[in-house]
Amino acid sequence: MAFTREQIRESIERAGDDHWQALIRHHEDAYPASRPTPGDVARAEAERLNALGLSDNPNLKLIESRVEPLGSAVRITHVFEDRAKGTRFETEPFTDYS
């Protein structure tokens, strides 16, 4: 089942309020410039993870998504659990959304 914008938002919130607030600040602090909204970022991340095929594996569970501010961009790292192997792994950090 493909990831949705709502699932990505929930995974960011599971990482802690600071991560969701980092996306809000990333958008608001750029005013009057226009950066993607937190919802736009969550939607784009869902599409990116789906394109990577991570939603195709029924053994993978998205645990949390961490957001780090990097000047005019943000870095996002997703943590997955592979239930078949009993292990966790992180995606390669992705930096964009400036």
Q: What is the CATH number of the domain that holds 35?
A: 3.10.450
Whole-number pLDDT of residue 3:
98
Whole-number pLDDT of residue 86:
97
Q: Residue 87 — φ and ψ, nearest 5°?
A: -125, 165
Whole-number pLDDT of residue 62:
98
pLDDT, one tens digit per residue, over 24-60 is: 999 999 998 889 999 999 999 999 999 999 999 999 9
Distance CA 13, CA 16 (A): 5
Alpha carbon separation from 55 to 1, 3, 13, 16, 18 (Å, rounded): 6, 6, 19, 23, 26
State pTM to two decimals: 0.94
Number of domains in the chain: 1
Domain that holds residue 53: 5-96
Q: What are the residues whose beta carbons fall under 8 Å from the beta carbon of 93, sequence distance 6 or more?
A: 75, 76, 77
Work out the pLDDT band at 82, boundaries 50, 70, 90. Answer: very high
